[in-house]
Structure 1
Amino acid sequence: MRFPPPIQPPRAAIPFLPSDPNPAVVMFNQEEMDEIVREAKLGGLPVACHAGTARGALMAIKAGVDTIEHCNETTDEVFREMRRRGTIFVPTLAVLRNSPDFDNISKRVKRAHDLGVRLAAGGDTGAFPHGEGALEMELMIRAGVPVPDVLEACIIGGWESCGKKKSGFLFGSIEKGYRADIIALETDPRTDEGALRKVNFVMKDARVWKRDGRPVDFVEEQAETRPASGSEEESDWVLI
C-alpha cells in the first residue's frame, strides 16, 4: 500500500509515481513462470494466467500457460503468439465494462478473434454474482465476435480452459458419452440480442430442471412430466 493507514501494523510502503499510483507490473521472472507451468503439468492441471501487461502475457505464453485472463494491454504480437501456441484468451469483458478504456478493450477482443485466437467466455468468478454468464456473451457479441463463435467460446472454450478431458467430462456434442447439459432458448441469438436471457429449457446431467420456461419440481413434477418408457418427445427446437 502506498499510504498505509495508522491503524495497520508498520510495513514498508510501495512507492509509485503519483501519475500512476497502481501500475501493472510483472510479478515473476521467466524461470519462475516456466517452473509453475512445469509443476502444474506434472499434476495434470491447466494453468490460467492473470495478465496485466503485454510483456507479462508473452512470458506466460512462452512458459506454456493454457489461458490468458484479462490482459488489457494486448498487442498483435501477443495475439499471434497465442494463436501459434494454442493459448486461449479469456477477455472477461463483464468485469472490465466500467473501465474508461472499455471501447478499446472490446476492439482488442474482436482483433484477437480476427487473428484466429481461441476465445473462452469467462466472468472472473467472484467479480459479480453467479448466474450472469449471459452478460459476458452479450458483450462479446457487441464487440463484433459472431454469435456462433461466442456460443463456441462459452460451450467449448470454457471446457478447453479447464483442461478438456482432464476435467473428467466431455462437452460440446449431443452424443453418447458426452455431458447431457443442454439449454434451449425462446428466440434465436443471431437475431435477438436478448435471446441469451430467454432460457426456455434446462437439462443438467440428463435431468430436466426447466421446461416451457417454468422450473420443474424436484420430485413430483419431474416424475409426472417424464415421458413414458419407449416414447419420444416432439420438439421444434433448432440447434445452431
Structure 2
Amino acid sequence: MTDTSPPSLLLANCTVLDARVLDGLAPVPDAGVWVRGDRIAAVGPYAGVAAQARAAGPVTELDLDRAYLTPGLVNMHTHFSLSLPGTGGDNVKTMGPYDLAHYMADGARRTLHCGVTTVRCVAEKDHADFALRRAITAGRIPGPRIHTAGRALVCTGGHGHESNDTLECDGPVGFRRGVRSQIKAGADLIKVMISGGIAGEHEGIHTPQLFADELAAVLETAHAWGRKVTAHAGPAEVIATAVELGLDCVEHGYQLTPQVVTRMAERGTALVPTLLVTRCKAFFDELGVPEWMQCRSLGAGPRHLESFAMAVEAGVEVLLGSDMPPFWDFEGTNATVRELEYLAEGIGPARAIHAGTRGPIRWLGAEADLGTVQDGKLADLIAMDGDPLADTSAFRGVRWVMTGGRVARDDRAGVP
C-alpha cells in the first residue's frame, strides 16, 4: 500500500526565537521543530519534540548546526516590476509581457532566497503580479507568498501615472470604480497615491493629489469589500486627513509631525517608512537615475529620519518595507536586511524582528498561519548563524530557507 502521509522533517540543533520575545517568551535553545507536510507540528526542547515526531512514524532529521531559527521575513513595500526614471527603469518599461514575466519571476526567486517568505506588492505592471502569485502558489516557480494591490490608484497625472503599474482615476465615482477593478482582478489590498513623491519630475513631495471626497470613496469602497488601504504619502497635512478618514497604512511618511503621529498611533494607522529610499545614492547611480530625482530623494533624508523617530516615540506600528527590490545587493547585503538594520537603529533588534515578521503578518490578516514559530503555523522559516536578538545584522547571514515545509535554500547542502 502506498504511504500517503505527509513528509515528516525534524529540525534539530538550533535556537528558536520569534517576535514573542516582546511578550516575555524566551528563545528556546537546543530546540527541535517537527515539520509535517507544510506546517509545524511541534516545537520546543529537542528531546520532547523528537520523541513526538518519531512516535508518529518515519521522520527525516536535519541538523541545523547551532543556527538561530526565526520566521521568514515579510517585506511590505515591494515592486517586482519597479521602473524608476533613468536607463535602468527604461529597460524594464520597454519589456514585452513575456520578458516582464520572466524578470519578475527571477526577482521572486531571489527574494525568497534572501529569507523573505512573504511580500506585499504595492503597484505592479499589467497585473503580472496576479499571474506571478498563481505560479508560485501552484509550485511552478519558487517565490514568496504574495499579497498584492494590483495597480495603484492615482489621479490623472498623479504620482506614478507614467507607468502601467498605476490606474488613473478622477472623482469619487472614478475612484470607486478603480477600487472595484483591482478587487475584480484579485487584489488583496488597495494602494492609492495621495501626494507627490520623489520619483515624479513635475510634482513635489508635498503636493496633495486627492480631494477628501475621492479618498473617502477609496476607503469606504475598499473597506466594504474587506480590503485594507495603504497610501503613498509624504506631507503631514495630507496624511492627517487620510488618518481621520480611516487609512490603514502610510507608505514613506517623509514629513510627519508630532500631532499626526499621535493620531496615527491612536487610530492604529501603521507606517512603512522605507528608510532606504532617501539614502541610496549608489542604487540610483546603478540605475542611471537623473540628478533631479537624486537631489529630491537624498535631500529629503534628514526630515525623513526625524519623521520616523517621531512615529517610533508616539508608538506607531512600524513595519518593514524596502521599496527597493527586496533582493537587491546593497551595502553588503540585500535591500530587505539593510532596511531592517535601519529600523533597528531606531527601535532595537527585538522590535525590528517584530516589524519584519509578526507585525506585517498581523496587518495582512494572516496571523493564524504565519508570523511566529508555533504549532499549527505554516513552516515558513529561516536560519542563520548569528543571534538576531543581539544584532539585526545576523540576518545578513541567512543560509537556510524553508517555505511551506519545503527547503528552498540550504547553503551547506548545496540547495538550490
Normalised to the residue count of structure 1, the TM-score between the two structures is 0.72
What is the aligned-residue identity percentage?
28
Alignment of 1:148-159 (within 5 A): 148-159=350-361
Letter of the structure 2 residue corresponding to residue 196 of structure 1 = F
**111-120 vs 192-201, which deviates more?**
192-201
Task: Report the Cα distance in structure 1 between the residues aligned to 2:343 and 2:215, rounded to whole angstroms.
Answer: 29
- Is residue 320–residue 355 contact of structure 2 (8 Å, CA) maintained in 1? yes
CA root-mean-square deviation: 2.8
CA separation of 1:126 and 1:185: change in aligned 2, threshold 3 A: closer
What displacement does 1:101 show? Answer: 3.7
Normalised to the residue count of structure 2, the TM-score between the two structures is 0.43
**2:343 is the counterpart of 1:140:** yes
**2:325 is the counterpart of 1:122:** no
Letter of the structure 1 residue corresponding to residue 239 of structure 2 = A
Q: List gaps (5 residues or longer) in structure 2.
A: 1-156, 158-200, 281-297
Counterpart pick for 2:216 among 34, 52, 76: 34
Task: Report the Cα distance in structure 2 between the residues aligned to 1:112 and 1:214, rounded to whole angstroms.
Answer: 43
Letter of the structure 2 residue corresponding to residue 175 of structure 1 = Q
Cα deviations by residue, 1:172-212 (Å, 9 ceiling, x for unpaired): 22223322111122112344453111013211111122336
- Is residue 33–residue 59 contact of structure 1 (8 Å, CA) maintained in 2? no
Instruction: State the structure with bigger RCO (CA 8 A, min sep 6), 1 or 2.
Output: 2
SS at match of 2:353: helix
Letter of the structure 2 residue corresponding to residue 132 of structure 1 = A
Alignment of 1:88-107 (within 5 A): 88-98=270-280, 99-107=298-306
Counterpart pick for 1:81 among 256, 263, 266: 263
- Is residue 264–residue 316 contact of structure 2 (8 Å, CA) maintained in 1? yes
Higher helix fraction (1 or 2): 2
Alignment of 1:172-191 (within 5 A): 172-191=371-390
CA separation of 1:156 and 1:209: change in aligned 2, threshold 3 A: same
Task: Report the Cα distance in structure 2 between the residues aligned to 1:174 and 1:190, rounded to whole angstroms.
Answer: 15
Higher strand fraction (1 or 2): 2
Alignment of 1:36-55 (within 5 A): 36-55=218-237
CA separation of 1:190 and 1:128: change in aligned 2, threshold 3 A: closer
Task: Report the Cα distance in structure 2 between the residues aligned to 1:106 and 1:215, rounded to whole angstroms.
Answer: 40
- Is residue 401–residue 407 contact of structure 2 (8 Å, CA) maintained in 1? yes
Letter of the structure 2 residue corresponding to residue 134 of structure 1 = V
What displacement does 1:127 show? Answer: 8.9
What displacement does 1:21 show? Answer: 6.6
CA separation of 1:180 and 1:86: change in aligned 2, threshold 3 A: same
What displacement does 1:104 show? Answer: 3.7
Q: List gaps (5 residues or longer) in structure 1.
A: 1-12, 14-19, 218-240
